[in-house]
A and B are shown apart, each in its own frame.
Chain A
Protein backbone atom coordinates (compact mmCIF):
# COMPACT_ATOMS: atom_id res chain seq x y z
CA UNK A 1 0.00 0.00 0.00
CA UNK A 2 1.21 3.49 -0.84
CA UNK A 3 2.17 5.87 1.92
CA UNK A 4 -0.97 7.32 3.55
CA UNK A 5 0.16 10.92 3.09
CA UNK A 6 0.74 10.22 -0.59
CA UNK A 7 -2.75 8.73 -1.00
CA UNK A 8 -4.32 11.74 0.69
CA UNK A 9 -2.26 14.06 -1.51
CA UNK A 10 -3.38 12.29 -4.70
CA UNK A 11 -7.01 12.29 -3.57
CA UNK A 12 -6.85 16.03 -2.86
CA UNK A 13 -5.62 16.59 -6.43
CA UNK A 14 -8.52 14.55 -7.80
CA UNK A 15 -11.09 16.31 -5.59
CA UNK A 16 -9.90 19.73 -6.73
CA UNK A 17 -9.62 18.75 -10.39
CA UNK A 18 -13.07 17.16 -10.48
CA UNK A 19 -14.93 19.95 -8.65
CA UNK A 20 -17.16 21.18 -11.45
CA UNK A 21 -18.59 24.05 -9.41
CA UNK A 22 -15.22 25.83 -9.16
CA UNK A 23 -14.30 28.48 -11.73
CA UNK A 24 -10.76 28.24 -13.09
CA UNK A 25 -9.65 31.34 -11.16
CA UNK A 26 -10.52 29.62 -7.87
CA UNK A 27 -9.26 26.21 -8.92
CA UNK A 28 -5.81 27.54 -9.84
CA UNK A 29 -5.45 29.25 -6.49
CA UNK A 30 -6.71 26.21 -4.62
CA UNK A 31 -4.10 24.04 -6.34
CA UNK A 32 -1.30 26.38 -5.34
CA UNK A 33 -2.54 26.54 -1.72
CA UNK A 34 -2.77 22.77 -1.59
CA UNK A 35 0.79 22.50 -2.91
CA UNK A 36 1.97 24.69 -0.03
CA UNK A 37 0.03 22.55 2.45
CA UNK A 38 1.51 19.33 0.99
CA UNK A 39 4.95 20.31 2.32
CA UNK A 40 3.73 20.02 5.91
CA UNK A 41 1.96 16.69 5.45
CA UNK A 42 -1.56 15.63 6.30
CA UNK A 43 -1.66 14.82 10.03
CA UNK A 44 -5.42 15.36 10.37
CA UNK A 45 -6.20 13.08 7.45
CA UNK A 46 -3.86 10.47 8.89
CA UNK A 47 -5.63 10.63 12.26
CA UNK A 48 -8.87 9.89 10.43
CA UNK A 49 -7.33 7.02 8.51
CA UNK A 50 -5.83 5.26 11.55
CA UNK A 51 -9.06 5.51 13.53
CA UNK A 52 -10.97 3.99 10.62
CA UNK A 53 -8.44 1.29 9.82
CA UNK A 54 -8.36 0.19 13.46
CA UNK A 55 -11.99 -0.90 13.46
CA UNK A 56 -12.54 -2.51 10.04
CA UNK A 57 -11.46 -5.80 8.49
CA UNK A 58 -11.21 -4.38 4.99
CA UNK A 59 -10.30 -0.77 4.11
CA UNK A 60 -12.70 1.06 1.79
CA UNK A 61 -10.54 3.35 -0.39
CA UNK A 62 -13.12 6.11 0.03
CA UNK A 63 -11.47 6.75 3.41
CA UNK A 64 -8.81 8.73 1.53
CA UNK A 65 -11.55 10.93 0.12
CA UNK A 66 -12.75 11.61 3.67
CA UNK A 67 -9.19 12.23 4.86
CA UNK A 68 -8.72 14.67 1.97
CA UNK A 69 -12.02 16.37 2.84
CA UNK A 70 -10.80 16.88 6.41
CA UNK A 71 -7.57 18.36 5.08
CA UNK A 72 -9.56 20.81 2.94
CA UNK A 73 -11.39 22.00 6.05
CA UNK A 74 -8.12 22.29 8.00
CA UNK A 75 -6.47 24.22 5.17
CA UNK A 76 -9.40 26.64 5.03
CA UNK A 77 -9.04 27.24 8.79
CA UNK A 78 -5.27 27.70 8.45
CA UNK A 79 -5.79 30.31 5.74
CA UNK A 80 -8.40 32.22 7.77
CA UNK A 81 -6.18 32.03 10.88
CA UNK A 82 -3.15 33.37 8.97
CA UNK A 83 -5.20 36.21 7.46
CA UNK A 84 -6.53 37.12 10.91
CA UNK A 85 -3.01 37.05 12.37
CA UNK A 86 -1.69 39.01 9.35
CA UNK A 87 0.87 36.26 8.92
CA UNK A 88 2.75 36.99 5.69
CA UNK A 89 4.68 33.72 5.35
CA UNK A 90 2.27 31.96 3.03
CA UNK A 91 1.12 32.31 -0.56
CA UNK A 92 -2.49 32.98 0.55
CA UNK A 93 -1.34 36.08 2.45
CA UNK A 94 -0.43 37.77 -0.84
CA UNK A 95 -4.07 38.19 -1.94
CA UNK A 96 -6.21 38.07 1.23
CA UNK A 97 -9.49 39.07 -0.43
CA UNK A 98 -9.20 36.32 -3.04
CA UNK A 99 -7.86 33.78 -0.57
CA UNK A 100 -10.96 34.16 1.57
CA UNK A 101 -13.08 32.96 -1.35
CA UNK A 102 -10.85 29.91 -1.75
CA UNK A 103 -11.22 29.17 1.99
CA UNK A 104 -15.01 29.42 1.71
CA UNK A 105 -15.05 27.13 -1.31
CA UNK A 106 -12.93 24.56 0.56
CA UNK A 107 -15.35 24.52 3.48
CA UNK A 108 -18.24 23.64 1.17
CA UNK A 109 -16.16 21.09 -0.76
CA UNK A 110 -15.25 19.38 2.49
CA UNK A 111 -18.72 18.20 3.51
CA UNK A 112 -19.71 17.59 -0.12
CA UNK A 113 -16.77 15.23 -0.54
CA UNK A 114 -17.79 13.16 2.49
CA UNK A 115 -21.36 13.05 1.21
CA UNK A 116 -20.08 11.66 -2.10
CA UNK A 117 -18.57 8.55 -0.48
CA UNK A 118 -20.07 5.06 -0.18
CA UNK A 119 -19.88 4.84 3.60
CA UNK A 120 -22.96 3.70 5.48
CA UNK A 121 -22.30 6.14 8.31
CA UNK A 122 -21.33 9.17 6.22
CA UNK A 123 -24.16 11.28 7.68
CA UNK A 124 -22.74 10.77 11.17
CA UNK A 125 -19.32 11.79 9.83
CA UNK A 126 -20.76 15.02 8.36
CA UNK A 127 -22.58 15.70 11.63
CA UNK A 128 -19.28 15.33 13.53
CA UNK A 129 -17.46 17.53 11.03
CA UNK A 130 -20.02 20.31 11.49
CA UNK A 131 -20.19 20.01 15.27
CA UNK A 132 -16.44 20.06 15.86
CA UNK A 133 -15.79 22.66 13.16
CA UNK A 134 -18.25 24.89 15.01
CA UNK A 135 -16.48 24.26 18.32
CA UNK A 136 -13.19 25.22 16.72
CA UNK A 137 -14.65 28.48 15.39
CA UNK A 138 -15.80 29.30 18.95
CA UNK A 139 -12.22 28.76 20.15
CA UNK A 140 -10.81 30.80 17.30
CA UNK A 141 -13.11 33.70 18.20
CA UNK A 142 -11.80 33.66 21.79
CA UNK A 143 -8.24 33.46 20.50
CA UNK A 144 -8.62 36.48 18.22
CA UNK A 145 -10.32 38.40 21.04
CA UNK A 146 -7.22 37.61 23.18
CA UNK A 147 -9.33 37.43 26.35
CA UNK A 148 -8.12 34.10 27.81
CA UNK A 149 -5.61 35.34 30.35
CA UNK A 150 -5.44 32.57 32.94
CA UNK A 151 -4.55 28.88 32.81
CA UNK A 152 -8.10 27.55 32.91
CA UNK A 153 -9.61 29.84 30.28
CA UNK A 154 -6.56 29.53 28.04
CA UNK A 155 -6.66 25.72 28.12
CA UNK A 156 -10.38 25.79 27.43
CA UNK A 157 -9.78 28.07 24.45
CA UNK A 158 -7.07 25.87 22.87
CA UNK A 159 -9.15 22.78 23.63
CA UNK A 160 -11.89 24.30 21.48
CA UNK A 161 -9.70 25.85 18.82
CA UNK A 162 -7.15 23.07 18.26
CA UNK A 163 -8.42 20.09 20.27
CA UNK A 164 -11.73 20.09 18.41
CA UNK A 165 -10.04 19.62 15.04
CA UNK A 166 -7.81 16.73 16.11
CA UNK A 167 -10.70 15.07 17.98
CA UNK A 168 -12.92 15.54 14.92
CA UNK A 169 -10.38 13.81 12.68
CA UNK A 170 -10.12 10.79 15.01
CA UNK A 171 -13.87 10.54 15.56
CA UNK A 172 -14.82 10.74 11.89
CA UNK A 173 -12.56 7.74 11.20
CA UNK A 174 -14.04 5.81 14.09
CA UNK A 175 -17.61 6.77 13.17
CA UNK A 176 -17.22 5.59 9.57
CA UNK A 177 -15.99 2.22 10.80
CA UNK A 178 -18.35 1.64 13.71
CA UNK A 179 -21.32 3.96 13.30
CA UNK A 180 -20.61 5.35 16.75
CA UNK A 181 -17.85 7.15 18.62
CA UNK A 182 -16.14 6.57 21.97
CA UNK A 183 -15.37 8.98 24.81
CA UNK A 184 -11.75 7.83 25.18
CA UNK A 185 -10.84 8.58 21.58
CA UNK A 186 -12.63 11.92 21.77
CA UNK A 187 -10.64 12.79 24.89
CA UNK A 188 -7.16 11.89 23.67
CA UNK A 189 -8.03 13.35 20.28
CA UNK A 190 -8.56 16.71 21.97
CA UNK A 191 -5.35 16.32 23.97
CA UNK A 192 -3.34 15.88 20.75
CA UNK A 193 -4.54 19.30 19.59
CA UNK A 194 -3.80 20.90 22.96
CA UNK A 195 -0.28 19.42 23.01
CA UNK A 196 0.50 20.65 19.52
CA UNK A 197 -0.85 24.13 20.33
CA UNK A 198 1.32 24.41 23.46
CA UNK A 199 4.35 23.37 21.40
CA UNK A 200 3.51 26.09 18.86
CA UNK A 201 3.15 28.61 21.68
CA UNK A 202 6.61 27.77 23.03
CA UNK A 203 8.07 27.90 19.52
CA UNK A 204 6.52 31.33 18.94
CA UNK A 205 8.53 32.77 21.83
CA UNK A 206 11.81 31.43 20.48
CA UNK A 207 11.92 33.90 17.61
CA UNK A 208 12.09 37.61 18.33
CA UNK A 209 10.10 38.77 15.31
CA UNK A 210 6.63 39.42 13.90
CA UNK A 211 5.33 35.99 14.97
CA UNK A 212 6.39 36.35 18.60
CA UNK A 213 3.30 36.18 20.84
CA UNK A 214 4.88 38.40 23.48
CA UNK A 215 5.73 41.16 21.02
CA UNK A 216 2.18 40.85 19.63
CA UNK A 217 0.74 41.16 23.17
CA UNK A 218 -0.93 37.78 22.84
CA UNK A 219 -1.53 35.44 25.78
CA UNK A 220 -0.21 31.88 25.99
CA UNK A 221 0.80 29.63 28.90
CA UNK A 222 4.44 30.84 29.24
CA UNK A 223 3.27 34.45 29.04
CA UNK A 224 0.51 33.88 31.60
CA UNK A 225 3.20 32.46 33.92
CA UNK A 226 5.57 35.36 33.25
CA UNK A 227 2.87 37.95 33.93
CA UNK A 228 2.01 36.22 37.22
CA UNK A 229 5.53 36.77 38.58
CA UNK A 230 6.16 39.66 40.90
CA UNK A 231 9.44 41.02 39.62
CA UNK A 232 10.79 43.91 37.58
CA UNK A 233 10.80 41.94 34.33
CA UNK A 234 7.17 40.90 34.63
CA UNK A 235 6.30 44.50 35.52
CA UNK A 236 8.00 45.68 32.31
CA UNK A 237 6.03 43.15 30.27
CA UNK A 238 2.78 44.11 32.04
CA UNK A 239 3.45 47.75 31.18
CA UNK A 240 4.12 46.77 27.58
CA UNK A 241 0.84 44.82 27.43
CA UNK A 242 -1.10 47.67 29.03
CA UNK A 243 0.53 50.09 26.60
CA UNK A 244 0.29 52.90 29.13
CA UNK A 245 3.95 53.83 28.87
CA UNK A 246 6.62 53.46 26.20
CA UNK A 247 8.37 50.24 27.17
CA UNK A 248 11.83 49.10 26.19
CA UNK A 249 12.32 45.36 26.48
CA UNK A 250 15.71 43.70 26.35
CA UNK A 251 15.19 40.47 24.44
CA UNK A 252 18.04 38.74 26.26
CA UNK A 253 16.56 39.60 29.64
CA UNK A 254 13.10 38.40 28.59
CA UNK A 255 14.58 35.24 27.10
CA UNK A 256 16.47 34.50 30.32
CA UNK A 257 13.36 35.08 32.39
CA UNK A 258 11.27 32.78 30.20
CA UNK A 259 13.81 29.97 30.35
CA UNK A 260 15.25 30.36 33.82
CA UNK A 261 12.22 31.72 35.64
CA UNK A 262 10.04 28.70 34.92
CA UNK A 263 7.68 30.01 32.22
CA UNK A 264 8.75 27.54 29.53
CA UNK A 265 8.98 24.73 32.09
CA UNK A 266 5.45 25.51 33.24
CA UNK A 267 4.14 25.23 29.65
CA UNK A 268 6.07 21.98 29.17
CA UNK A 269 4.54 20.61 32.39
CA UNK A 270 1.00 21.31 31.18
CA UNK A 271 1.90 19.73 27.83
CA UNK A 272 3.34 16.68 29.62
CA UNK A 273 0.22 16.35 31.73
CA UNK A 274 -1.93 16.10 28.61
CA UNK A 275 0.57 13.70 27.06
CA UNK A 276 0.44 11.35 30.05
CA UNK A 277 -3.37 11.45 30.16
CA UNK A 278 -3.55 10.77 26.41
CA UNK A 279 -1.09 7.86 26.61
CA UNK A 280 -3.08 6.28 29.46
CA UNK A 281 -6.23 6.29 27.35
CA UNK A 282 -4.44 5.14 24.20
CA UNK A 283 -3.18 2.00 25.98
CA UNK A 284 -6.69 0.55 25.90
CA UNK A 285 -7.53 1.40 22.28
CA UNK A 286 -7.12 -1.34 19.69
CA UNK A 287 -5.06 0.46 17.06
CA UNK A 288 -2.28 -1.38 15.22
CA UNK A 289 1.38 -0.82 16.06
CA UNK A 290 2.13 1.60 13.21
CA UNK A 291 -0.96 3.68 14.00
CA UNK A 292 -0.14 3.75 17.69
CA UNK A 293 3.42 4.85 17.03
CA UNK A 294 2.08 7.64 14.84
CA UNK A 295 -0.28 8.78 17.60
CA UNK A 296 2.43 8.60 20.27
CA UNK A 297 4.62 10.89 18.15
CA UNK A 298 1.80 13.44 18.04
CA UNK A 299 1.39 13.20 21.81
CA UNK A 300 5.03 14.09 22.56
Chain B
Protein backbone atom coordinates (compact mmCIF):
# COMPACT_ATOMS: atom_id res chain seq x y z
CA UNK B 1 0.00 0.00 0.00
CA UNK B 2 2.94 2.37 0.64
CA UNK B 3 3.96 2.18 -3.03
CA UNK B 4 0.40 2.75 -4.24
CA UNK B 5 -0.09 5.89 -2.13
CA UNK B 6 3.35 7.17 -3.08
CA UNK B 7 2.56 6.69 -6.77
CA UNK B 8 -0.79 8.46 -6.46
CA UNK B 9 0.76 11.35 -4.54
CA UNK B 10 3.16 11.80 -7.45
CA UNK B 11 0.41 11.39 -10.06
CA UNK B 12 -2.71 13.10 -8.60
CA UNK B 13 -4.47 13.12 -11.96
CA UNK B 14 -4.85 9.38 -11.58
CA UNK B 15 -6.97 9.87 -8.47
CA UNK B 16 -9.49 11.88 -10.49
CA UNK B 17 -9.53 9.20 -13.16
CA UNK B 18 -10.07 6.55 -10.50
CA UNK B 19 -13.01 8.49 -9.10
CA UNK B 20 -14.49 8.70 -12.59
CA UNK B 21 -13.89 4.94 -12.91
CA UNK B 22 -11.79 5.52 -16.02
CA UNK B 23 -8.81 3.68 -14.56
CA UNK B 24 -8.36 0.94 -12.01
CA UNK B 25 -5.30 -0.16 -10.11
CA UNK B 26 -4.13 -3.67 -10.98
CA UNK B 27 -3.66 -5.84 -7.91
CA UNK B 28 -5.71 -3.52 -5.70
CA UNK B 29 -9.08 -4.90 -4.54
CA UNK B 30 -12.30 -2.91 -4.82
CA UNK B 31 -12.43 -2.30 -1.08
CA UNK B 32 -8.79 -1.13 -1.04
CA UNK B 33 -9.52 1.20 -3.95
CA UNK B 34 -12.48 2.64 -2.04
CA UNK B 35 -10.31 3.12 1.07
CA UNK B 36 -7.73 4.97 -1.04
CA UNK B 37 -10.32 7.23 -2.70
CA UNK B 38 -11.93 8.02 0.66
CA UNK B 39 -8.53 9.03 2.04
CA UNK B 40 -8.03 11.47 -0.84
CA UNK B 41 -11.40 13.01 0.04
CA UNK B 42 -10.31 13.63 3.64
CA UNK B 43 -8.58 16.89 4.40
CA UNK B 44 -4.93 16.33 5.22
CA UNK B 45 -3.64 19.83 5.75
CA UNK B 46 -0.54 21.02 7.57
CA UNK B 47 -2.33 24.27 8.36
CA UNK B 48 -4.76 22.27 10.47
CA UNK B 49 -4.96 24.19 13.77
CA UNK B 50 -4.35 20.91 15.63
CA UNK B 51 -0.75 20.96 14.40
CA UNK B 52 1.31 22.80 16.95
Contact of B35 among A151, A260, A269 (CB under 8 A): A269
CB 8 Å contact bits of B31-48 with A (1 = contact, 0 = none): 110111011101011101
Contact across chains for B6 and A229 when beta carbons are under 8 A apart: yes
Interface flag for A208 (CB, 8 Å):
yes
Contact across chains for A265 and B39 when beta carbons are under 8 A apart: yes
Residue of B nearest to A258 (CB): B46
Contact of B39 among A229, A258, A272 (CB under 8 A): A272
Residue of B nearest to A261 (CB): B9
Contact of B50 among A206, A265, A266, A280 (CB under 8 A): A206
Interface residues of A in 35-52 (CB under 8 A from B): none
Complex alpha-carbon distance, A277 and B36, angstroms: 13
| Chain B residues within an 8 Å CB radius of A256 | 46
Contact of B5 among A266, A276, A277 (CB under 8 A): A266
Complex alpha-carbon distance, A207 and B8, angstroms: 27
A-B contacts at CB below 8 angstroms, number: 67
CB 8 Å contact bits of B1-44 with A (1 = contact, 0 = none): 11001101100000000000000000000011011101110101
Assuming A151-B1, A269-B1, is B9 touching A276 (CB within 8 A)?
no
Q: How many chain B residues have a CB neighbour from A under 8 Å? A: 22
Contact across chains for B1 and A268 when beta carbons are under 8 A apart: no
Assuming A151-B2, A273-B35, is B52 touching A206 (CB within 8 A)?
yes
Residue of B nearest to A270 (CB): B1
Shortest A185–chain B CB gap in Å is 19
Contact across chains for B46 and A260 when beta carbons are under 8 A apart: yes
Provide the main secondary structure of the chain B interface: helix
CB 8 Å contact bits of A267-292 with B (1 = contact, 0 = none): 01110110111001000000000000
Contact of B1 among A259, A264, A266 (CB under 8 A): A266
Residue of B nearest to A280 (CB): B31
Shortest A101–chain B CB gap in Å is 36
| Chain B residues within an 8 Å CB radius of A261 | 9
Shortest B2–chain A CB gap in Å is 5
| Chain A residues within an 8 Å CB radius of B5 | 225, 262, 265-266, 269
Interface flag for A224 (CB, 8 Å):
yes
Assuming A206-B52, A268-B39, is B2 touching A276 (CB within 8 A)?
no
Residue with the highest number of chain A CB atoms closer than 10 Å, among B9, B42, B46: B46
Contact of A265 among B44, B46, B52 (CB under 8 A): B44
Contact across chains for B35 and A272 when beta carbons are under 8 A apart: yes
* 6 residue pairs, one from A and one from B, having the closest CB atoms: A272-B35, A273-B35, A262-B9, A259-B46, A269-B39, A268-B39
A–B pairs, 24, beta carbons within 8 Å: A151-B1, A206-B51, A206-B52, A208-B52, A225-B2, A225-B5, A255-B46, A255-B51, A262-B6, A262-B9, A264-B44, A265-B5, A265-B9, A265-B39, A265-B40, A268-B38, A268-B42, A269-B38, A272-B36, A272-B38, A273-B31, A276-B34, A276-B35, A277-B31
